[in-house]
């Protein structure tokens, strides 16, 4: 009874978050504290986003000019794509480059690229997900490259959906498998895009010693072609958020049935906040401070991960990205000022922090 009520509450909650202005949602949460707290506490027990007792998801951005930015994209890592290299695209302000993420209860360790490469010698690290995974993958390649700038690397775009960065001396491979939904997606000539929410068949590239998954933004794209959701053989009319929950659950079951946790470390990179709509990111040069309302979908990620058999680390970046309204390419994407990008992230920038957390999690022993 209780869990059913909670689930219905959560669906309503997500639905409201998705539709209504933030101020109303904040008020709504404040007026319903008891139920909300029960819900959160149930998940805290599993500490999905904690390493060595430190929760990296909570904290604040502090100026640290002596150490950041960690690199200059165009001179240090020329392989970074133009869309992420905001400086070369003419972004005039530079304060956004100087921030360090300070978790509330600890400090993040310094990213030691040589130690990373030595530890993962002969191993493969694979990002699977949308272009936010591309953002993270390019940042990691750069952070490792600047640690060993003389060491030979090969970057290969094997297909439109598969990119590989190889550090030859270390035989460390960093892959990005482009996969927006993780579940099966196909194009129907009449209808448009159909997602098979209960099916994962294209997992042949999902291998590596570390797998870092991410999916979110494509579920909420409001393009011209509609997206249909299919379960079994039927197209079912449902809210995008509900579809996301079902799709993510299918992914979690796939991981539980196909991944041997003694061989493969699985990480789920959480939702990176976008800043489109009313609070869009144009002309923003400073991070926000303080707390933020719960971002739509985060409760779904939390709940799906906490119900898994396998231990999956939740790389929870939602609060830190909510605060970084200044961190997006905005109109500095290289595509002209009529195009604005408030979803991806400038490099150097926020994705470097995600990799600092990744480093802390992977090399904590
Ligand atoms: C951004 O700032 C420029 C220069 O001050 C101004 O002309 C432009 O209207 C601003 N754009 C937005 C969307 O606020």
Q: Is 283 in the pocket of ligand 1 (CB under 6 A)?
A: yes
Q: 297 near 15, Cβ under 8 Å?
A: no
Question: Which residue among 283, 330, 337, 341 has the greatest number of ligand 1 atoms within 8 angstroms of its CB, and so is best to mutate?
Answer: 283
pLDDT of 151 > 50? The answer is yes
C-alpha distances in Å from residue 45, one per residue of 40, 42, 217:
9, 6, 28
- Phi, psi (deg, nearest 5) at residue 230: -120, 135
State yes or no: pLDDT of 14 exceeds 50: no
| 244-268 residue pLDDT tens | 999 999 999 999 999 999 999 999 9
Taking CA atoms only, the protein residue closest to ligand 1 atom 5 is 283
3-class DSSP state for residue 346?
A: coil
- The model's confidence at residue 17, banded by pLDDT at 50, 70 and 90, is very low
> 30: pLDDT confidence band, cut at 50, 70 and 90?
very low
Ligand 1: which residue has its CA nearest to atom 7?
283
* Mean pLDDT on 23-29: 33
Of the pLDDT bands very low, low, confident and very high (cuts 50, 70, 90), residue 32 is very low
Does residue 282's CB lie within 6 angstroms of at least one atom of ligand 1? yes
Ranking 31-40, 90-99, 170-179 by mean pLDDT, the lowest is 31-40
For residue 174, what pLDDT is reported?
A: 98
Q: How far apart are CA 217 and CA 132, in angstroms?
A: 9
Q: How many domains, in total, are found in the chain? A: 1
Phi, psi of 4, deg, nearest 5: -65, -45
Ligand 1 atom at minimal distance to the Cα of residue 280: 13
Residue 73 lies in a domain: yes
User: Does the residue 175 lie in any domain?
Assistant: yes
Establish if 68 belongs to a structural domain: yes
End-to-end CA distance of the chain: 42
CA of 24 to the centre of ligand 1 (A): 28
**What's the pLDDT at 37?**
35
Q: Is the residue at 39 inside a domain?
A: no
In a domain, 273, yes or no: yes
Distance (Å, whole) CA 321 – CA 353: 10
What is the C-alpha to C-alpha distance for residues 23 and 6, in angstroms, rounded to an integer?
Answer: 23
**Nearest atom of ligand 1 to the alpha carbon of 282:** 13
CA nearest ligand 1 atom 4, residue: 283
**Residue 37, in any domain of the structure:** no
Instruction: Determine the distance separating the centroid of ligand 1 and the alpha carbon of 221, expressed in angstroms.
Output: 26
How high is the pLDDT of residue 329? 97
Q: Distance (Å, rounded) from C-alpha 298 to C-alpha 270?
A: 8
Is residue 224 predicted with pLDDT exceeding 80?
no
How far apart CA 346 and CA 74 sit, in angstroms, is 12
Task: Over range 55-67, report the average pLDDT.
Answer: 97
Alpha-carbon gap, residue 55 to 42, rounded angstroms:
16
Average pLDDT over residues 83-98: 98
Question: Whole domain around residue 346: which residue ranges?
Answer: 46-362
Distance (angstroms) between ligand 1 centre and the Cα of 271 equals 28
Residue 17 lies in a domain: no
Least Cα distance to 139 among 116, 170, 118, 169 occurs for 116
Spatial contact of 249 and 290, defined as CB atoms under 8 Å apart: no
Over residues 47-65, mean pLDDT: 89
Instruction: Give the burial class of 26: count Cβ atoms within 10 A of its Cβ; 0-12 exposed, 13-18 middle, 19 or more buried.
Output: middle
Confidence (pLDDT) at 48: 81
CA distance 98 to 79: 22
Q: What's the gap in Å between 283 CA and the centre of ligand 1?
A: 6
**Domain assignment present for 41:** no
Crossing angle (nearest 10°) for helices 33-44 and 298-306: 40
Q: What is the pLDDT of residues 294-332, one digit of tens each?
A: 999 999 999 999 999 999 999 999 999 999 999 999 999
Mean pLDDT of the residues in the chain: 88
Residues ≥6 apart with Cβ < 8 Å to 362? 116, 119, 120, 210, 265
Q: 3-state class of 137 per DSSP? A: helix
Number of C-beta neighbours around residue 363 at 10 A: 14
Which residues carry out catalysis? 131, 341, 344
- Sheet of 172-178: strand order equals 153-159, 162-167, 172-178, 124-129, 210-214, 265-269, 313-315
């Amino acid at each position: 009874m209780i869990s059913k009520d909670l689930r219905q509450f959560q669906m309503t909650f997500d639905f409201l978050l998705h539709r209504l202005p933030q101020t109303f949602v904040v008020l709504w949460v404040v007026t319903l504290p008891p139920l909300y707290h029960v819900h959160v506490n149930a998940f805290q027990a599993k500490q999905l986003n904690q390493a060595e007792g430190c929760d990296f998801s909570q904290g604040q951005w502090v100026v640290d000019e002596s150490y950041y930015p960690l690199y200059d994209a165009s001179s240090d890592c020329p392989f970074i794509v133009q869309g992420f290299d905001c400086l070369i695209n003419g972004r005039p302000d530079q304060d956004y480059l100087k921030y360090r993420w300070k978790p509330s209860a600890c400090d993040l360790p310094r990213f030691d690229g040589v130690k990373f490469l030595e530890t993962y010698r002969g191993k493969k690290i694979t990002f699977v997900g949308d272009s936010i995974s591309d953002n993270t993958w390019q940042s990691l390649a750069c952070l490792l490259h600047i640690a060993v700038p003389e060491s030979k690397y090969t970057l290969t775009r094997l297909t439109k959906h598969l990119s590989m960065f190889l550090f030859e001396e270390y035989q460390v491979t960093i892959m990005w498998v482009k996969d927006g939904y993780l579940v099966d997606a196909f194009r129907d000539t009449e209808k448009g895009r159909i997602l098979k929410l209960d099916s994962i068949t294209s997992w042949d590239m999902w291998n590596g010693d570390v797998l870092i998954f991410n999916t979110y933004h494509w579920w909420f794209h409001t393009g011209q072609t509609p997206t249909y959701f299919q379960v079994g053989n039927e197209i079912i009319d449902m809210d995008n958020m509900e579809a996301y929950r079902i799709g993510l659950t299918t992914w979690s079951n796939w991981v539980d049935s196909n991944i041997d946790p003694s061989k493969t470390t699985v990480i789920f990179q959480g939702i990176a906040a976008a800043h489109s709509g009313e609070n869009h990111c144009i002309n923003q040069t400073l991070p926000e401070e303080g707390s933020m309302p719960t971002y739509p979908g985060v409760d779904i990620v939390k709940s799906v991960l906490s119900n898994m058999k396998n231990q999956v680390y939740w790389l929870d970046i939602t609060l830190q990205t909510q605060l970084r309204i200044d961190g997006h390419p905005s109109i500095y994407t290289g595509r002209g000022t009529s195009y604005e990008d408030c979803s991806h992230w400038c490099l150097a920038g926020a994705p470097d922090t995600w990799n600092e957390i990744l480093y802390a999690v992977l090399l904590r022993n």
